[in-house]
Amino acid sequence: MQEEREQQQRTTLILGIIVGAVVVGAVIWYILYNVRYSARLELHIAPNNALIYLNDKEIRNRNQQIRPGEHVIRVEREGFETQEEEFSVAGGETFNVSIALLPSDGNLDWYNNNPRDALILDGVRQREQDRIVQDALNSDPIFGILPFTEDEFGLKYVIEAAYSNGVRLLIRLNTCSDMVAEYYKEQAFEWLRSQGFEPNNYHIDYMTLCG
């Protein structure tokens, strides 16, 4: 009886050591994995069944834990134009890849018939438009001084800037009088020139109180 009890104790101890070793090993593996693959890749890919390659290795169309550093992602599908993108991501960071392949024949019926993929296409187009607008905002310092309101001794005019197929200015003239409107225009032009900008280099729209 004493011998059986000792044998059970030894067996329990051995099992405890094994379980402890497995747990410690799993914790070490988890820590090493998260250190090695500490960056996150979020994918928004259309078509949904496109082939996706990260550094020439095929991956699934879902979010991935990846190594920090330089990467190349390639997306392809028969009947669509292949797209490739290079990116760099640091440890602990998340990098978003949004790619919507365009049909080789230019026919967008695929997206008309696949709402989920159409949403991704819309998102890609919107992000590209936002990037173009942001590049314009960063490239033209006039956005740094506008909008401007001339309201000394009463509101006269407001100058605004926007991007729509190029930088455009809108001058709102606080009058219905053609004569006063011309006077305010000249004042607005003089103010722009005083800030170092030539009005004639921009497309300008005008709006008065009467339309």
Angle, vertex CA 51, rays to CA 55 and CA 81, nearest 5: 95
d(CA 148, CA 98): 37
Cα(134)–Cα(148) distance, integer angstroms? 20
Show the domains of the chain with their CATH numbers: 36-139 (2.60.40.1120), 141-208 (no CATH)
3-class state of residue 106 by DSSP: coil
Residue carrying structure tokens 């050591």: 17
Cβ atoms of 199 and 189 within 8 Å: the answer is: yes
- The continuous run of DSSP H or E covering 124 comes out as helix 115-139
Sign of the dihedral defined by the CA atoms of residues 59, 63, 64, 68, in that order:
positive
Do residues 69 and 41 touch, judged by C-beta distance below 8 A?
no
- Integer Cα distance of 201 and 193 in angstroms: 11
Give the distance, in angstroms, between the CA of residue 54 and the centroid of all CA atoms in the same chain: 19
pLDDT for the residue numbered 32? 47
User: In this predicted structure, what is the pLDDT of residue 47?
Assistant: 94
Q: How far apart are CA 58 and CA 55, in angstroms?
A: 8
Per-residue model confidence as pLDDT tens for the chain (211 residues)? 555 555 665 566 566 667 666 665 555 555 544 555 678 899 999 999 999 999 999 999 888 888 888 999 999 999 999 999 999 988 889 999 999 999 998 878 889 999 999 999 999 999 888 888 788 777 788 988 999 999 877 889 999 998 877 889 999 999 999 999 999 999 999 999 999 999 999 999 999 988 7
User: Rounded CA gap, 167 and 21, in Å?
Assistant: 66
What confidence score (pLDDT) does residue 107 get?
79
Query: Quick one: DSSP state of residue 196?
Result: T
Are the beta carbons of 101 and 77 closer than 8 angstroms?
Answer: yes
The predicted model scores a pTM of 0.56
Answer whether 199's CB lies under 8 Å from 193's CB: yes
79, amino acid identity: G
Judge whether 131 and 120 are in contact, CB under 8 Å: no
